[in-house]
């Protein structure tokens, strides 16, 4: 995941002229006014000015001009000269900035402002609020810093009075404003020394340890950092000895090491993801994190995929996509450039970031296949007279599985996340287990115990039970169409396609259905490998999809899905491979392939691959061509 995010950052940097700030700017449409707080050293007065105003909301260009960045997280010292929070600007921001700056001109100017306009807060238990703007320069506010025993409370009262003053002065609402500090009418944020300092804070300070090692992303041996304090998403533990190599504190850095270039790309990438690649399923928030397989990351199609991925997914998951729209999605963005998508479900609370679930390596074609079945379910409504108000899509799954809550916290979120996980990577689900969730839901409606669960109070519980029961029927039909209801058995009328030359092999070696399915998977892998060879890829990259130490059931399912996409990529070479792969998946799932051991799965996949390779070599050896 580390390299995925850095890859996205590299793409963003190239598209945005390496401006590290473009992707991390605040982009809040509710902000309509930019207010200057100007320290005039000549007149020794504090002035206020309305620099920018737009009732429709300020543009990103304005945020870029005044460098409106998210505040430092948690209890870190604040030092930005532009912010939405007045409490930082009237207290710690300027002293912290002056203390950190190395540029003599700007540093001396800020120190002059602090010496002239700031005073020591008499309630300075916290060093963050030790210095504040002296209220004597704002006599119209009637600020009394000694009124409260706590510095933070005193600052809070100060801010409330200042906000009301600004609101009256410019006839604006405080919640719609952001503020920038100026010295002699010159915004600090427009000083190059300030911008250089902010860039340094985001990048260089992370490399204070002067450690040289191997970068976990690019593999180069350079000066690296394991400092993750500026990361929004934290995937690694770097501060607990029981997670360090050999249980030695000095080895904590080995959990994550990044060179300067990859560190910058990671910061850019995760901020781009947080701003532009968000989506939701039910009430779960998640990031769509694509992973591109090609080396040329300047491709315009890749940038097009990145910009449109959330909209494309939201279209697929909720709106009935017509076959024409599916064709547009597949032809324009979901094909051509090979990539997979990772779904990172998360929960954010102030400065904390908790990963709820990570669904890896979802091929785009899988999403279109899911939507195709959703369309088929949607068409059923008219045939059996189900009202339009009762329909099924991916968001509905969240409301069909009751999970207990405590306050705003979900206590059993994995129940639903596991269903989404199985759905996207095509792992069959047991109907009996799913029915237990339905029984819980029916019980919930019958006894109206809504306060205990994530499902809100219903005005008509009887109607809600009826509606949800129909939706569960549609859900089961949807899973059945995707071959995801475990425990199904093949019916004699099912059409199974097996290559003519494999049939006697299966008979003679006594392969059962699951083993036949794996052999067909291996057969198709060889078909794709040969197609890749013919395209000039002599190392046959598809063979890297096989884990020779053992294949879990989940990895086999994922491999089936990835092979479907490869078939479309090499359609001109593959003949009936799609039929064979579909038959292999049906045989494997219906034959209880999950009961096989990891080593058995590898054996039967490689058996199918070997038999096909043998057949191909017999046909090509006379031509002097190796497959």
Domain that holds residue 169: 26-195
CA distance 282 to 402: 12
| Domain boundary pick from 179, 195, 211 | 195
Q: What is the CA radius of gyration of the chain?
A: 30
Angle at 211 between CA 206 and CA 217, to 5 degrees: 70
> Looking at residue 511, what is its pLDDT?
84
- In order of 64, 86, 190, 266, the CA distances from 177 in angstroms are 15, 10, 19, 30
CA 425 to chain centre: 17
> Looking at residue 492, what is its pLDDT?
36
Any domain includes 18: no
Q: Are residues 263 and 281 in the same domain?
A: no
341 φ/ψ angles, rounded to the nearest 5 degrees:
-120, 135
Domains contained in the chain, number: 4
> Looking at residue 110, what is its pLDDT?
95
Residues 232-252: tens digit of each pLDDT: 787 666 666 665 666 666 666
Q: Are residues 284 and 156 in the same domain?
A: no
CA torsion, ordered 35, 41, 43, 48, to nearest 10 deg: 0
Residues 356-398: tens digit of each pLDDT: 999 998 988 888 889 888 888 888 777 776 778 888 999 999 9
pTM for the full model?
0.67
Here the tokens at position 316 are: 């697929």
Q: Are residues 395 and 444 in the same domain?
A: yes
Low-confidence ranges of the chain (pLDDT < 70): 16-20, 22-24, 74, 123-127, 148-152, 203-206, 208-209, 235-254, 294-299, 319-333, 335-337, 350-351, 385, 408, 486-495, 571-575, 617-627
CA distance 407 to 17: 45
CB atoms under 10 Å from CB of 472, counted, come to 20
**C-beta separation of 343 from 362 below 8 A:** yes
Any domain includes 491: no
Here the tokens at position 292 are: 């591109």
Q: How far apart are the first and last CA of the chain?
A: 34
CB atoms under 10 Å from CB of 26, counted, come to 18
> Looking at residue 387, what is its pLDDT?
78
**C-beta separation of 202 from 267 below 8 A:** yes
> Looking at residue 47, what is its pLDDT?
95
Q: Dump strand ranges (E) for 96-196.
A: 118-120, 131-133, 177-183, 186-187
Q: Are residues 232 and 374 in the same domain?
A: no
| Domain boundary pick from 240, 267, 294 | 267
Q: Are residues 466 and 547 in the same domain?
A: no
Q: Are residues 455 and 511 in the same domain?
A: no
CA distance 135 to 132: 8
| Domain boundary pick from 172, 195, 218 | 195
Which helix (H) or strand (E) covers residue 485, if one does?
strand 485-486
Any domain includes 495: no
Here the tokens at position 192 are: 């190059």
**C-beta separation of 366 from 424 below 8 A:** yes
Residues 126-183: tens digit of each pLDDT: 667 788 999 999 988 888 877 766 666 778 889 999 999 999 999 999 999 999 999 9
> Looking at residue 83, what is its pLDDT?
94
| 622 contact partners, CB below 8 Å, separation of at least 6 | none
**C-beta separation of 357 from 421 below 8 A:** yes
> Which residue in 295, 319, 292 sits closest to 304, CA to CA?
292
Here the tokens at position 478 are: 């949807």
In a 10 Å sphere around its CB, with 0-12 CB exposed, 13-18 middle and 19+ buried, how is residue 587 labelled? Answer: buried
> Looking at residue 627, what is its pLDDT?
47
> Looking at residue 319, what is its pLDDT?
59
CA distance 334 to 326: 9
Q: Following DSSP, what letter does each residue of 179-210 receive, concatenated?
A: EEEEETTEEGGG-HHHHHHHHHHHTGGGGTT-
Q: Are residues 99 and 240 in the same domain?
A: no
**C-beta separation of 601 from 588 below 8 A:** no
């Amino acid at each position: 995941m580390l390299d995925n995010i850095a890859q996205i950052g590299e793409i963003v940097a190239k598209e945005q002229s390496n401006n590290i700030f473009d992707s991390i700017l605040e982009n809040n449409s509710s902000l309509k006014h930019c207010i200057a707080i100007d320290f005039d050293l000549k007149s020794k007065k504090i002035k206020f000015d309305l620099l920018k105003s737009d009732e429709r909301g300020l543009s990103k260009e304005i945020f870029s001009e005044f460098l409106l960045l998210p505040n430092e997280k948690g209890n870190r010292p604040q030092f930005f000269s532009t912010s939405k929070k007045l409490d930082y600007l009237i207290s710690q921001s300027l002293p912290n900035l002056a203390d950190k700056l190395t540029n003599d001109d700007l540093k001396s100017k800020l120190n002059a402002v602090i010496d002239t306009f700031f005073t020591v807060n008499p309630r300075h238990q916290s060093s963050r609020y030790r210095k504040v703007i002296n209220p004597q320069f704002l006599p119209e506010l009637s600020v009394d810093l000694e009124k409260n025993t706590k510095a933070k409370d005193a600052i809070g009262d100060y801010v409330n009075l200042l906000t009301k003053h600004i609101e009256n002065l410019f006839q604006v609402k405080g919640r719609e404003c952001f503020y920038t500090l100026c010295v002699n009418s010159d915004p600090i944020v427009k000083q190059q020394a300030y911008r250089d300092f902010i860039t340094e804070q985001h990048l260089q300070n992370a490399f204070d340890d002067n450690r040289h090692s191997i970068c976990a992303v690019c593999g180069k041996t350079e000066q690296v950092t394991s400092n993750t304090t500026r990361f929004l998403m934290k995937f690694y533990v770097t501060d607990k000895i029981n997670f360090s190599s050999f249980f030695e504190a000095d080895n904590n850095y080995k959990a994550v090491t990044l060179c300067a270039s990859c560190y910058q790309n990671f910061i850019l990438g995760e901020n781009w993801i947080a701003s532009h690649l968000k989506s939701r399923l039910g009430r779960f928030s998640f990031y769509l994190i694509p992973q591109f397989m090609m080396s040329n990351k300047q491709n315009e199609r890749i940038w097009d995929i990145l910009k449109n991925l959330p909209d494309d997914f939201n279209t697929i998951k909720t709106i009935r996509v017509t076959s024409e729209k599916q064709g547009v999605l597949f032809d324009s963005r979901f094909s051509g450039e090979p990539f997979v998508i990772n779904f990172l479900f998360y929960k954010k609370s102030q400065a904390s970031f908790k990963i709820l679930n990570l669904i890896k390596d979802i091929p785009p074609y899988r999403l279109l296949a899911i939507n195709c079945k959703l369309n088929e379910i949607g068409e059923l409504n008219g045939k059996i007279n189900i009202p339009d108000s009762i329909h099924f899509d991916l968001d509905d799954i969240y409301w069909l599985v009751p999970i207990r809550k405590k306050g705003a916290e979900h206590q059993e979120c994995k129940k639903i996340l596991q269903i989404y996980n199985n759905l996207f990577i095509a792992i069959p689900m047991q109907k009996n287990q799913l029915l237990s969730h339905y029984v819980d839901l029916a019980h919930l409606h019958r006894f109206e115990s809504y306060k205990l669960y994530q499902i809100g109070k219903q005005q008509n519980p009887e109607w809600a039970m009826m509606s949800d029961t129909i939706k569960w029927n549609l859900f089961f039909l949807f899973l059945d169409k995707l071959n995801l209801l475990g425990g199904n058995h093949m019916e004699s009328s099912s059409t199974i396609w097996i290559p003519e030359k494999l049939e006697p092999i299966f008979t003679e070696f006594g392969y059962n259905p699951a083993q036949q399915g794996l052999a067909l998977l291996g057969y198709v892998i060889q078909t794709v490998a040969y197609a890749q060879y013919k395209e000039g890829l002599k190392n046959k990259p598809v063979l890297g999809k096989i884990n020779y130490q053992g294949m879990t059931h989940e990895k086999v399912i994922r491999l089936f899905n990835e092979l479907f996409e490869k078939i479309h990529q090499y359609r001109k070479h593959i003949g009936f491979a799609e039929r064979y792969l579909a038959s292999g998946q049906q045989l494997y799932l219906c034959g209880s392939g999950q009961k096989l051991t990891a080593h058995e799965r590898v054996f039967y996949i490689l058996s199918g691959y070997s038999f096909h390779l043998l057949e191909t070599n017999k046909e090509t050896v006379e031509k002097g061509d190796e497959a």
